[in-house]
Chains A and B, each alone.
Chain A
């Protein structure tokens, strides 16, 4: 499974992955809006193992993260936001969600100087909460009562990105000193 940045031509299949897996869906144009505004932030997981049957077969998208920068942050602090994240049921437990998130988060810090990244998750969604808090290091900012249409509460979660920003600074300094490469583990 390749992890790479989302291209406009991926959008029809990302849209399908979304509407197949999740209850909140968007028009093609909303994906385009993300890709045209912050083209560095959205990533896809692609099953590249099968050769296409016709020259027109699009890459098989098995997961994606659709991300943005908050345009008018209420707290005045530059930060990213995860609009949607999904991995096909058939491709779970490969760690794809984590890998997608990590790429997106780094781009948020590198390209837009994001201080943190935020998202919402259903309080009942233990698996997602586990990914965000235990694997990625998100913390619960607050609970938003009745956030969802069906009356369920949401955890508003966020993750600080200053580590990534520091790392960038370091590697910038290294560049100054003429050393090559960097290891972000």
Chain B
């Protein structure tokens, strides 16, 4: 039971709670201490004090105090609630849920505790628990619409479509009169219900419901898209046609609409009879608007032979005449078809030779526009010969130089020239040219970013950071690099890490890969506030979209790319621990030719040296800090940032358990990107070193199902066979049995 307080202290306590909620931590702390001077063992006050300490960033102290508070008052819901909140900020959600549940037992009617619990349950995807908690909340506060909507969300996420729909309908039926059309919460709740009906598979019902409510829906685009889709699914082609045409009238640059219309018209791109009708259809849309690109570009996908050539000629000429720099990007997807590739090459080469004979291919136009055309042709050809499916680098270089002659400071041309040198395998020259192009437009961040990327590809980490810093704020003590971390600049961190890895700087490389890992944690955490925010806003369809995206967040290549490199780095560190010591990898010492004793000695020496360096570095930093007048590092939320104790990643690289550490990256990699063959390849390497033969085999089998011709897979399969043949002790019988029956990639020897 909460201990009673004298009345003065009691009102002080209420003040503390208010102060905390208003984030007035200093005031709150003062009042709490005042109470505790009078009633030293008052659990609730101690708990509140702990909460404030926690908000100020003193989490260790907060936890200690919260424990004391609980000891003093184990039956107080406040103490348990606070205990849960501390665990929640520490991101130990399981413990937080337990604490909230204790608190709820003691105070079953607390709306706040229930809501906090529900939020954690959905964050943890404990949907049955979420359903239960939301039901309790709904029962205690049925007059609030949000509670009905939240109940429906819980059922929906838990896969109970009917229950979800019923809840929403039940609430609608309690409304005395329909809310005004401008009520976005209502409009969204109705559309949300419609998506649930459709997801449950009853398209017929979804359509009739939609048609009944669409007049009052505020999200017109969504309604029109849903209706068109339902009509098509129900094979009501006439109406579907009209629906897709209406969508195209609103937005003629969305291929999904064209595809819907094609289907509604019964047209099929792989059927010869359909082609003329398709061509006619797109022609009609092209005629409607001068600005539309899709209607002109899409036919190039399905036309063949002469009609392709005619259409391509028209398309290319019109694009090049307007000097559109992305012309090549717009058509290069066609290059997978060698015939189309050849036609395009001939066409554009033709424009170039027309220039030579006639002065300009478009000589009937004014001078300025012909120049634009001529330049665009040269630029196109440079990109064409630089592209991997049509590569001829010397031609590419020739064309880009000609384009540069006409327009010496065109940033795009400089970028392409740098790219050509990259393909020549000369990252130094590529970086140099990109840096020059950067100076042609110093206010453009795009060329600046490209320049930094090329510098990283050339292992110039410091130059790259300098380049980036021209556009970062550089306000915190961490400067440009800190800004890039804070603003989650994924590409830079990844490229920086890869460059360090190429140079054998394992610490810094791992540091960057871990940064990527941590940003994914942040992104996962980012959804937290929206569990309640979205209910307030009433945008439920968007919220459910977010939940589903977050569920497979880590399949993003930003994650898998960094994770694969991190795992590779750890494997190298496992095989050759001396790599963690830079002084042993810089060429002076040939570790491979030493015997074990010598190696040990060298390692010891290296460690001593590194320690000395670190000490010097620490002293230098300390001195710098004292001299600096810069403000302390804070995040955008104004919270103080903790100082990084291992900025060089030295500790990361000198791990005693590299394979264990690799596991942190690997498990998400295999869980979310199982169809990424490289993920399976590196998975095998880790498991085989840990003697987890079944897991290694799982990787081999998965890789084989993705691409049985993968060369790494072949080498690994042979190695796996050999490992099995030379085991020092036999495998447990069930394991051996499983391997015998499932490892059929190569026969037993």
A and B part of one assembly: yes
Residues of A within 8 A of B (CB): 1-5, 7-9, 12, 15-16, 19-23, 25-29, 32, 35-40, 47-51, 54-58, 88-95, 98-99, 103, 106-107, 110-113, 149, 172, 175, 180-184
Q: Which of B294, B491, B549, B558 contacts A7 (CB 8 A)?
A: B549
Complex Cα spacing A183 to B246, Å: 8
Q: Name the B residues within 8 Å of A48 (CB-CB).
A: 255
Please tell me if B242 contacts chain A, counting CB pairs below 8 Å.
yes
Q: Which of B246, B324, B542 contacts A93 (CB 8 A)?
A: B324
Q: Which of B218, B246, B291 contacts A110 (CB 8 A)?
A: B218
- Docked-complex contact A90 and B412, CB < 8 angstroms: yes
Please tell me if B447 contacts chain A, counting CB pairs below 8 Å.
yes
Number of interface residues of B (CB under 8 A): 72
- Docked-complex contact B542 and A39, CB < 8 angstroms: yes
- Docked-complex contact B523 and A181, CB < 8 angstroms: no
In chain B, residues 518-552, which have Cβ atoms closer than 8 Å to a Cβ of chain A? 522-523, 526-527, 529-530, 533-534, 537, 539, 541-543, 545-546, 549-550
Q: Which of A36, A57, A110 contacts B557 (CB 8 A)?
A: A57
Interface contacts beyond A47-B329, A56-B556, A94-B324: sample of 19 additional A-B pairs, CB < 8 Å, sorted by A: A8-B542, A8-B550, A12-B490, A16-B489, A16-B491, A21-B446, A36-B534, A37-B539, A38-B539, A40-B219, A50-B332, A54-B675, A90-B326, A91-B325, A91-B329, A92-B326, A93-B323, A111-B220, A180-B246
Please tell me if B221 contacts chain A, counting CB pairs below 8 Å.
yes
Please tell me if B424 contacts chain A, counting CB pairs below 8 Å.
no
Complex Cα spacing A26 to B526, Å: 13
Chosen A-B contacts, 19 in total, with CB atoms closer than 8 Å, are: A3-B251, A8-B546, A8-B549, A21-B445, A21-B446, A23-B445, A27-B486, A27-B488, A27-B636, A40-B221, A54-B673, A56-B555, A93-B323, A95-B293, A110-B218, A111-B184, A112-B184, A180-B242, A181-B249
- Docked-complex contact B522 and A93, CB < 8 angstroms: no
9 tightest Cβ-Cβ pairs between the two chains A and B: A49-B333, A39-B542, A89-B446, A3-B253, A8-B549, A9-B549, A29-B526, A8-B546, A56-B555
- Docked-complex contact A2 and B523, CB < 8 angstroms: no
Residues of B within 8 A of A (CB): 182, 184, 215, 218-222, 242, 245-246, 249-251, 253-256, 291, 293-294, 322-326, 329-330, 332-333, 411-412, 444-447, 449, 471, 473, 486-491, 522-523, 526-527, 529-530, 533-534, 537, 539, 541-543, 545-546, 549-550, 555-558, 560, 636, 672-673, 675-676
- Docked-complex contact A181 and B245, CB < 8 angstroms: yes
Nearest CB of chain B from residue A33's CB, rounded to whole Å: 8
- Docked-complex contact B254 and A4, CB < 8 angstroms: yes
- Docked-complex contact B676 and A54, CB < 8 angstroms: yes
Q: Name the B residues within 8 Å of A3 (CB-CB).
A: 251, 253-254
- Docked-complex contact A1 and B253, CB < 8 angstroms: yes
In chain B, what residue has the closest Cβ to A43?
B251
- Docked-complex contact A88 and B490, CB < 8 angstroms: no
Q: Name the A residues within 8 Å of B324 (CB-CB).
A: 93-94
Please judge, given known A-B contacts A2-B253, A8-B549, A183-B249, whether A28 and B488 are in contact too, CB under 8 Å: yes
- Docked-complex contact A2 and B445, CB < 8 angstroms: no
- Docked-complex contact B250 and A106, CB < 8 angstroms: yes
Please judge, given known A-B contacts A28-B488, A28-B523, A181-B246, whether A110 and B333 are in contact too, CB under 8 Å: no
- Docked-complex contact A111 and B446, CB < 8 angstroms: no
- Docked-complex contact B533 and A36, CB < 8 angstroms: yes
Q: Name the B residues within 8 Å of A89 (CB-CB).
A: 411-412, 444, 446-447
- Docked-complex contact A49 and B330, CB < 8 angstroms: yes
Q: Name the A residues within 8 Å of B411 (CB-CB).
A: 89
Complex Cα spacing A21 to B541, Å: 31
- Docked-complex contact A28 and B326, CB < 8 angstroms: no
Complex Cα spacing A39 to B636, Å: 24
Nearest CB of chain B from residue A15's CB, rounded to whole Å: 6
In chain A, what residue has the closest Cβ to B322?
A93
Q: Name the B residues within 8 Å of A183 (CB-CB).
A: 249
- Docked-complex contact A94 and B293, CB < 8 angstroms: yes
Nearest CB of chain B from residue A29's CB, rounded to whole Å: 4
B-side binding surface: helix, strand, loop or mixed? helix
Complex Cα spacing A28 to B249, Å: 33
Complex Cα spacing A106 to B550, Å: 29
Please judge, given known A-B contacts A16-B491, A54-B676, A111-B219, whether A95 and B251 are in contact too, CB under 8 Å: no
Complex Cα spacing A2 to B444, Å: 25
Complex Cα spacing A48 to B297, Å: 12
Complex Cα spacing A26 to B546, Å: 18
Complex Cα spacing A32 to B647, Å: 30
Please judge, given known A-B contacts A27-B636, A56-B557, A110-B218, whether A99 and B253 are in contact too, CB under 8 Å: yes
Nearest CB of chain A from residue B413's CB, rounded to whole Å: 12
In chain A, what residue has the closest Cβ to B324?
A93
Complex Cα spacing A184 to B543, Å: 31
Please judge, given known A-B contacts A36-B543, A58-B557, A111-B220, whether A92 and B256 are in contact too, CB under 8 Å: no
Q: Name the B residues within 8 Å of A25 (CB-CB).
A: 487, 489
Q: Name the A residues within 8 Å of B489 (CB-CB).
A: 16, 19, 25
In chain B, what residue has the closest Cβ to A17?
B446
- Docked-complex contact B487 and A19, CB < 8 angstroms: yes
- Docked-complex contact A90 and B184, CB < 8 angstroms: no
Scoring B256, B293, B488 by chain A CB atoms within 10 A of each residue's CB, the highest score goes to B488
Nearest CB of chain A from residue B264's CB, rounded to whole Å: 14
Q: Name the A residues within 8 Å of B560 (CB-CB).
A: 56
Please judge, given known A-B contacts A8-B546, A49-B330, whether A56 and B673 are in contact too, CB under 8 Å: yes
- Docked-complex contact A8 and B545, CB < 8 angstroms: yes
- Docked-complex contact B219 and A37, CB < 8 angstroms: no
Complex Cα spacing A93 to B318, Å: 13
Complex Cα spacing A56 to B182, Å: 39
Q: Name the B residues within 8 Å of A57 (CB-CB).
A: 557
Q: Name the B residues within 8 Å of A20 (CB-CB).
A: 445-446, 449, 491
Q: Name the B residues within 8 Å of A36 (CB-CB).
A: 530, 533-534, 537, 539, 542-543, 546
Q: Name the B residues within 8 Å of A93 (CB-CB).
A: 322-326
- Docked-complex contact A103 and B251, CB < 8 angstroms: yes
Complex Cα spacing A88 to B676, Å: 28
Q: Name the B residues within 8 Å of A56 (CB-CB).
A: 555-557, 560, 672-673, 675-676
Complex Cα spacing A181 to B250, Å: 10
- Docked-complex contact B326 and A94, CB < 8 angstroms: yes
In chain A, what residue has the closest Cβ to B290?
A95
In chain B, what residue has the closest Cβ to A125?
B443
Q: Name the B residues within 8 Å of A15 (CB-CB).
A: 488, 490
- Docked-complex contact A23 and B326, CB < 8 angstroms: no
- Docked-complex contact B675 and A27, CB < 8 angstroms: no
- Docked-complex contact A181 and B242, CB < 8 angstroms: yes
- Docked-complex contact A22 and B445, CB < 8 angstroms: yes
Complex Cα spacing A177 to B332, Å: 47
Q: Name the B residues within 8 Å of A55 (CB-CB).
A: 675
Q: Name the A residues within 8 Å of B221 (CB-CB).
A: 5, 40, 107, 110
- Docked-complex contact B487 and A26, CB < 8 angstroms: yes
Please judge, given known A-B contacts A36-B546, A95-B291, whether A182 and B444 are in contact too, CB under 8 Å: no
Nearest CB of chain A from residue B470's CB, rounded to whole Å: 9
- Docked-complex contact B242 and A90, CB < 8 angstroms: no
- Docked-complex contact A184 and B488, CB < 8 angstroms: no
Complex Cα spacing A124 to B486, Å: 29
Q: Name the A residues within 8 Å of B255 (CB-CB).
A: 2, 48
